[in-house]
Chain A
Amino acid sequence: MSEKCQRCQKHAATVHLTEILENQERRETHLCEQCAAQQEGPLETMGLLSSAFTPATASGDPGGLRCSACGLGYMEFRSRGRLGCPHCYEVFRSSLEPLLEKIHGGTQHVGKAPDESSAVDRSRERRLVELRRELQTAVREERYEEAARLRDRLQRCESGEDVGGAEGARADG
C-alpha cells in the first residue's frame, strides 16, 4: 500500500486499474483516490492525450492557436487535456477531431439534444453522419469522383449551420 500515485506522486496509490490493451497486453495504473476520481473517464485518454494530437508541425500549425473567448492556448489544452469553454471546440477543431475519433470512434453527436429546435435538427445531423460515412467509404474505395461530389454535398449541408455546429457554444455572445 506504500506505492505512490502515478499521477500526483504525492498520495499513496489505493486505486489500481488494469486494462487489457488491443494487443492483449495488460496495463496497470496506480492512482490515489483523489486522482482516480478525476480520472473517471476512460483510462486510455491519459495516454491518448499526449499521443493522439495532430503534431504541431502539421498543416495549420495548431501550436499557436488560442481561444479568443477563454484564452486557452493550444499547448495548455494539449498538456492538460481540458478545454476552457464551449468556443474552444471551434478553435481547436482541427486537432480535436482526430482526438475525438480516437477516443470515441466518431466525431458526430448522435442522441439527445436540449430542446425542440435542436431536435428538429436531428434529421440533418443524421444526414451529416450518413454523408460523412459515405464519403469515407468512397475515399477508402478510391472512388474519387463520387468522393468529390459527396464532399460538396457535405459542405452544403454543413453550411446550413452558422459556425459549423457550435451554435450553443459561442462564449462571446
Chain B
Amino acid sequence: MRTAESFDGEGVSGGEWLSTRGAHADIVISSRVRLARNVRNHRFAVKCDGAERAEIEQHVRFALGRVEFDEEMVYLDLARAPALDGELLVERHLISRELAHGSGPRAACYAPSESVCIMVCEEDHLRLQVLRSGFELDAAWSLADDLDDRIARRVEYAFSSRFGYLTCCPTNVGTGLRASVMLHLPALVYSKHIEKVFQAGSKMNLAVRGLYGEGTQALGDFYQISNQVALGLSEQDVLERLNRVVPQFIDYERRLRDALEKSDRARLEDRIWRAYGVLRAARTISTEETLELLSAIRLGVNLGLLPSALTIETVNELFITSQPAHLQRLAQHVMEPRERDIARADLLRAKLGAL
C-alpha cells in the first residue's frame, strides 16, 4: 500500500468499471457491492472526539497496509489532500460526498483500477466497495466477501450474533450490505414507462432512484436499484432478489428500444443525431444539457446509429470527465460555473469532434 496526499490518477479518463467488459453493459453501467463495518470497542465516527478518530484512522491504515490486495492500494489521506481531489473521487463514484466534505482524519483507500475502494472514517469506520462494469453483482460480491475476510483478520469488527455487523445507522445493521446496479434506461423514459420500474422495485422492497435530477425522469436516464433490507436476509438472498428483478428491467428496456426503432425510427434518429450535433458543436454547455445529450448518443451508439469510431467507453467516460472537478483538474485551476460550461464544451468537441 502506498500513502498519498493527492489523487494522482490522470483525472481525464475513468476507472475500469466504465469499460464495457461486463454483462449487459449496454444497459447496466455498473454493479456495486458495499459493506459497512466498524472497529470493535470504539465509538462510531459521529460520536468520536478528534483523538479517538485519529486513533481509529491510524489503526485502520496500519491494518489495511498489512492486508494482501490484488493490486497495490493507494491510501489517500483526505484530511491532507486538496478539496478538489476529494471532489474528483466523488465524481468517479469512488467515495461519498459526505466523506469528501467531512472533517478530521479520514481516507480513501483505493485500487488504481478503481474497482475497489475502502472509505475510512465515513459514517462507519470502514466502508468497503467493489465496483464492476456491467451486470456482475455476483462477481462484485465474491470479491467483496473475500476482501472483507482478509480485512477481518487484521481488524476486529463490531458484531453481534443477534444484530450482525453493528453500524452507525440502523438501516445498515445486519449484513451491512448494500448491493446496487446502475442502469441506463433511455427507452423506458422516452416511452414513458419508467414509472413501472419504480412500482416493480417497491413491490420487491428495492429502492429505485435517479442518479441525477428530475424525479422519475432522471437526467441522463440513469437509475440505481438497490436493496433496502440488511437485517434478516442473507447476502445471498439480497443478491438473488436483485438478480431476479434486474434482468426484467434489462429485458423491458431492450424490447422498448426495438419498438422505438420500428415504430418511431425517424424521431429516434433525429433525437440522437441532434444530440450528437450539439455535443460536437457547442461552445458553452451546462452539466444538465450534457447529461441529457450524452444519454441520447449513448443510446445511439448501442443501436448502431452513430459512427462506429464512437464507443460506449468514450461516452461512459464523458459522463464522469465533463463534471466540474474533472474539468478543473484538466484545466489545472479553479473555474467559475460559466467558465466551466465553456471548458465542458471544449472537452466534448475535442472528444467527439475528431471522430
Contact = CB atoms under 8 A, between A and B. Distances in A.
Interface of A: 1, 14-21, 28, 33-34, 37-38, 40-45, 69-72, 81-86, 89, 96, 99-100, 103-115, 118, 121, 124-125, 128, 161, 164-171, 173
A83 B41 contact: no
Contacts of A173: 41
Nearest to A170: B41
Interface in B199-233: 199, 202, 205, 207, 209-210, 212-216, 218, 228-233
Given A18-B216, A19-B202, A71 B47 contact: yes
Interface of B is mostly: loop
Interface of A is mostly: loop
A109 B210 contact: no
B158 A169 contact: yes
Interface stretch (B70-78, B106-114, B169-177, B332-340): B169-177
Contacts of A28: 215
B17 interface: no
B157 A168 contact: yes
B40 to A, nearest CB: 5
B161 A161 contact: yes
23 contacts: A16-B214, A19-B202, A20-B199, A34-B101, A81-B170, A85-B44, A86-B41, A89-B163, A103-B170, A104-B228, A105-B205, A107-B232, A110-B232, A111-B174, A112-B145, A112-B148, A112-B175, A113-B159, A114-B152, A114-B156, A168-B156, A168-B166, A173-B41
A34 B95 CA distance: 12
B215 A96 contact: no
Interface of B: 38, 40-44, 46-47, 90, 96-98, 101, 123, 145, 148, 152, 156-175, 177-178, 198-199, 202, 205, 207, 209-210, 212-216, 218, 228-237, 288
B160 A104 contact: no
B198 A41 contact: no
Contacts of A125: 161
A165 B160 contact: yes
Contacts of B170: 45, 81, 83, 96, 99-100, 103
Given A15-B212, A43-B207, A20 B232 contact: no
Given A41-B171, A103-B171, A17 B209 contact: yes
Contacts, number: 201
Contacts of B172: 41
B212 A34 contact: no
A89 B44 contact: no
Contact of A89 (B166, B178, B205, B288): B166
A134 B317 CA distance: 53
A167 B170 CA distance: 18
Contacts of B148: 112
Given A19-B202, A89-B163, A103-B231, 14 more contacts: A15-B210, A16-B215, A34-B98, A41-B178, A81-B169, A82-B46, A100-B170, A103-B171, A112-B175, A112-B235, A118-B159, A121-B161, A165-B162, A171-B41
B216 to A, nearest CB: 5
A113 B145 CA distance: 11
Contacts of A103: 170-171, 228-229, 231
B160 A171 contact: no
A37 B97 contact: yes
B233 A110 contact: yes
Closest 10 pairs (CB-CB, A-B): A106-B232, A109-B164, A165-B162, A42-B228, A41-B171, A84-B47, A37-B97, A168-B159, A104-B231, A111-B234
A171 B125 CA distance: 14
Nearest to B174: A109
Nearest to A76: B47
Nearest to B199: A20
B98 A37 contact: yes
Contacts of A111: 164, 174-175, 177, 233-236
Nearest to A168: B159
A169 B210 contact: no
Contact of B213 (A14, A109, A115): A14
Query: Most chain-B Cβ atoms within 10 A of its Cβ — which of A42, A43, A105?
Result: A42
A40 B145 contact: no
A169 B40 contact: yes
A83 B209 contact: no
Given A16-B215, A18-B215, A113-B159, A85 B232 contact: no
